[in-house]
Chains A and B, each alone.
Chain A
Amino acid sequence: MENKSDFTGIRIGMWLFLYTEIILFGGLFVLYAVYLHMYPDDFVSGGKQLDRVIGALNTVILLISSFTVAASITAIRKNSKKLSLGLLAFSFLCGVVFLVNKYFEWGYKFHHDIYPNSETLTNGPPGENIFFGLYYVITGLHGLHVIIGMTLLAVSFIWVAKGKIEHNNFAMLENSGLYWHLVDLIWIFVFPLFYLVL
């Protein structure tokens, strides 16, 4: 097929796909908007119960990893394979740290009996139940996307190591990078909506 070399076309396809992902989360953000309008006070008190330090830390981690992924693409374009591999490995590690943080954050909430259908949430103010319900659904789905993104980064890592991704053939790496930026982008919206809601 002639289109293997058509980077623009491959990129268009990827952007269209990313667009569908944004709409997927968009549905959840619509719910968030409506419920924020219904329960502004409960959302504020819910937000205060989340740990802003860990949230901010995770934001920084994702931002840095987004940068390193972009740098790894530049590295492979300049034909420095080792640097590209190193940067990819670092980005992957950032993903792991993000998930570990998330795990402790969720675990801490579970420990305080805050999870879907828990006693505290069911008997507490309805707005808080909705706030934490959305929190778990959105961060959970985002976490799933982090895992998918890490898988793509891992595959790209192997392909770079095997020489299947090279300075003139890096569509796979670029698309994985784009996907990772999407994961980052969604988090950029999730972070203020949940942690900084005042």
Chain B
Amino acid sequence: MPAIHSFFDTPSPAGLTGVKAWLLTHDHKRLGIMYLWAVLFWFTVALTVGFLLRIELMTIGKTIMSAEIYNSAFTLHGVIMIFLFVIPAIPAIFGNFFLPIQLGTNDVFFPRLNLLSWYLYMFGGLLAIISLFTAGGFPDTGWTFYVPFSVGTNNNVPLTVFAAFILGMSSMLTGLNFITTVHRMRHKAMGWMQIPLFTWSLYATAWVQLLATPVISITLLLVIFERAFNIGLFDPDKGGDPLLYQHLFWMYSHPAVYVMILPGMGVISEIIPTFSRKAIFGYKAIVISSLGIAVAGSLVWAHHMYTSGMSDTAVFVFSLLTFLVAIPTAVKVFSWVSTMYKASIEMTPPLLYALVFIYLFSVGGLTGLVLGAAGTDIHVHDTHFVVSHFHFTMFGGTGFAFFAALHFWWPKMFGIMYNFKRAYIAATLATVGFMFHYVPMFILGMQGMPRRYYDYLPQFAQGNALAAAGGLLLFVGIMLMLINLVLSFRKREISSINPWGGVTLEWTVPSPPPLHNFVAEPNVKEYPYDFSEILTAENAGKKGQVTP
């Protein structure tokens, strides 16, 4: 058998050498890696900005930045985290890399479109950078760009909004590509109920991306038009209704939080059975709940607007629908926990991150019910309670799922293993820091401290100081985690084909995979989470040697 080159080492065709072999590539794996570095860059930037925000709030009055910069900083933190990190992170990196492999095929359906999506992503990021330094500086509106302020402020709203528009297009095209790939390029032997759960979650996500993103596109365009032509579509003086902006905005942006969390849930659905050596509990229930979240999640947007002046009927209906979304979410959480029941669990860094995910996300989900219930929401609306809830779901949820995915698939993507001890320490630091960072915010919110305020009353001082201390721990933990991953390149501890004992198709190909993914015809299992072969091999003492 000839030596198998990984996709890193495969010689490029003439005229496509050096950096061009990357910048003009159609290979989904190279694009995944390119997304990885870009996303990590933006994540680090926004993480640092977020950290500086908490330092500013550590003490009453000015600590390190002026009120104007503070306003721009929380907008910058939100815009980068939402549009450049949380939305693209898991689908664009791990989705691009692993969706085709899990489906037993050699690429996505539209490889050139995939490259275009990457360029749109980079272009959107570039525009965001430019808007920092031009025409009044970065917007001070918050990432929601609410009218009338976003139309009136002197800061550079149009360019930032346009950047978000471009990023939306990138995410939409990725979704389009994934749907077509799942339908048309799935391995012949793979039926719908044999698709791995990560790919299922990406499929459900892709539909939400297609369904919802155009709404934000048009909303953002309208903000630009309003600023350019003063039409007055949202201006009460000219007959418009600002509430409609909020409706249009959340019609996308609430489904978007499911775009953010669904792929994360997919990651967890892969990790939990792998380290439990046990078929996942309720495969079909998880599939259906993914689709259920995609559908129900598109119908709850106005729960952001209970205090904006909607009719009581609307508040009632949206509150009810919001409660309904909790059901499929709970189905997933219970399925994961049930999978671990009486399993032979093997502790590894990815599993630790996954367990932290389950805990943090459950807290985030349950506090979401406090906000979804109209009565309690009135009390905590627009307070730090919301900030904390949101970060528990998006950071504790998607963020930790992203970290779990990094640790889970790192050996497959690069063929090398990282240091476990440092990974555990980083995870512990980050988790403890996370709790000290965000739990005080719940309490501050209940006591009535508003979000996005530069300054606060003396009774909030203790909570804010605690949050800053926790923030420091969190920041250090995450930095340590990233450094640990990067250090694996120096030590180059070679990883085997299947270091974890996984059963989906990506664990049957070399690490890193060759250019066309499969060296032999993929062997699609009757049931995707069948661990009998792995267990037999492990009992025979051949762990890590499992070949298809």
Cβ-defined contact, A27 with B230, below 8 A = no
A1 to B184, CA, bound (A): 13
A24 to B212, CA, bound (A): 9
A9-B184, A27-B248, A34-B241 known; A3 vs B109 contact (CB < 8 Å):
yes
* A30: contacting residue among B109, B110, B248, CB under 8 A: B248
- Which residues of B are found within 8 Å of A193, using beta-carbon distances? none
A9 to B362, CA, bound (A): 39
Binds A, one of B218-226, B310-318, B385-393, B502-510: B218-226
A35 to B107, CA, bound (A): 46
A43 to B215, CA, bound (A): 24
> Does residue B40 face the partner (Cβ distance < 8 Å to A)?
no
> Does residue B214 face the partner (Cβ distance < 8 Å to A)?
yes
Q: Mark B156-185, 1 if CB is under 8 A from A, else 0.
A: 000000000000000010001101100111
Cβ-defined contact, B180 with A137, below 8 A = no
Cβ-defined contact, A116 with B231, below 8 A = yes
Cβ-defined contact, B111 with A117, below 8 A = no
A116 to B113, CA, bound (A): 37
A129 to B183, CA, bound (A): 46
* A133: contacting residue among B211, B217, B231, CB under 8 A: B231
Q: Mark A17-50, 1 if CB is under 8 A from B, else 0.
A: 1011101111110110011001100100000000
B213-266 contacts to A, CB under 8 A, are: 213-215, 217-219, 221-222, 225, 229-233, 237-241, 244, 247-248, 251
> Does residue A151 face the partner (Cβ distance < 8 Å to B)?
no
**A117 CB, min distance to chain B CBs, angstroms:** 4
Chain A facing B: main interface SS: helix
A128 to B, closest residue via Cβ: B239
> Does residue B60 face the partner (Cβ distance < 8 Å to A)?
no
- Which residues of B are found within 8 Å of A126, using beta-carbon distances? 237-239
- Which residues of A are found within 8 Å of B129, using beta-carbon distances? none
* B211: contacting residue among A23, A122, A127, A130, CB under 8 A: A23
A143 to B208, CA, bound (A): 28
A1 to B26, CA, bound (A): 10
Cβ-defined contact, B231 with A27, below 8 A = no
- Which residues of B are found within 8 Å of A34, using beta-carbon distances? 241, 244
Interface residues of B, CB < 8 Å — how many?
41
* B218: contacting residue among A27, A130, A136, CB under 8 A: A27
> Does residue A168 face the partner (Cβ distance < 8 Å to B)?
no
Cβ-defined contact, B230 with A116, below 8 A = yes
- Which residues of B are found within 8 Å of A53, using beta-carbon distances? none
- Which residues of A are found within 8 Å of B110, using beta-carbon distances? 3, 13
> Does residue B127 face the partner (Cβ distance < 8 Å to A)?
no
- Which residues of A are found within 8 Å of B106, using beta-carbon distances? 1-2
B105-128 contacts to A, CB under 8 A, are: 106-107, 109-111, 113
B219, B233, B239 interface centre (most CB from chain A within 10 Å): B239
- Which residues of A are found within 8 Å of B251, using beta-carbon distances? 27
B213 to A, closest residue via Cβ: A20
- Which residues of B are found within 8 Å of A134, using beta-carbon distances? 233
A134 to B, closest residue via Cβ: B233
> Does residue B210 face the partner (Cβ distance < 8 Å to A)?
yes
A116 to B240, CA, bound (A): 13
A131 to B, closest residue via Cβ: B239
Cβ-defined contact, A16 with B180, below 8 A = yes
- Which residues of B are found within 8 Å of A23, using beta-carbon distances? 211-212, 214-215
Cβ-defined contact, B184 with A129, below 8 A = no
* A130: contacting residue among B185, B217, B239, CB under 8 A: B239
Cβ-defined contact, A130 with B229, below 8 A = no
A127 to B239, CA, bound (A): 6
* B184: contacting residue among A8, A21, A25, CB under 8 A: A8
- Which residues of B are found within 8 Å of A127, using beta-carbon distances? 239
**A13 CB, min distance to chain B CBs, angstroms:** 5
- Which residues of A are found within 8 Å of B109, using beta-carbon distances? 3, 6, 9, 13
Cβ-defined contact, B219 with A27, below 8 A = yes
- Which residues of B are found within 8 Å of A2, using beta-carbon distances? 106
**A10 CB, min distance to chain B CBs, angstroms:** 8
**A172 CB, min distance to chain B CBs, angstroms:** 13
* A117: contacting residue among B231, B240, B241, B244, CB under 8 A: B231
A141 to B214, CA, bound (A): 14
Cβ-defined contact, A117 with B229, below 8 A = yes
A116-B231, A130-B232, A137-B231 known; A20 vs B218 contact (CB < 8 Å):
no
Cβ-defined contact, B176 with A17, below 8 A = yes
A130 to B230, CA, bound (A): 11
* B215: contacting residue among A8, A26, A35, A136, CB under 8 A: A26
Cβ-defined contact, B214 with A26, below 8 A = yes
15 A-B pairs with C-beta separation under 8 A: A1-B107, A9-B109, A12-B183, A12-B184, A13-B109, A16-B210, A20-B213, A26-B215, A31-B233, A35-B241, A38-B239, A116-B229, A117-B230, A122-B238, A129-B232
Q: Which B residues form the contact surface with A (CB < 8 A)? A: 26, 106-107, 109-111, 113, 172, 176-177, 179-180, 183-185, 210-215, 217-219, 221-222, 225, 229-233, 237-241, 244, 247-248, 251
Interface pairs A-B: 7 shortest CB-CB: A126-B239, A9-B184, A23-B214, A27-B218, A117-B230, A133-B231, A24-B214
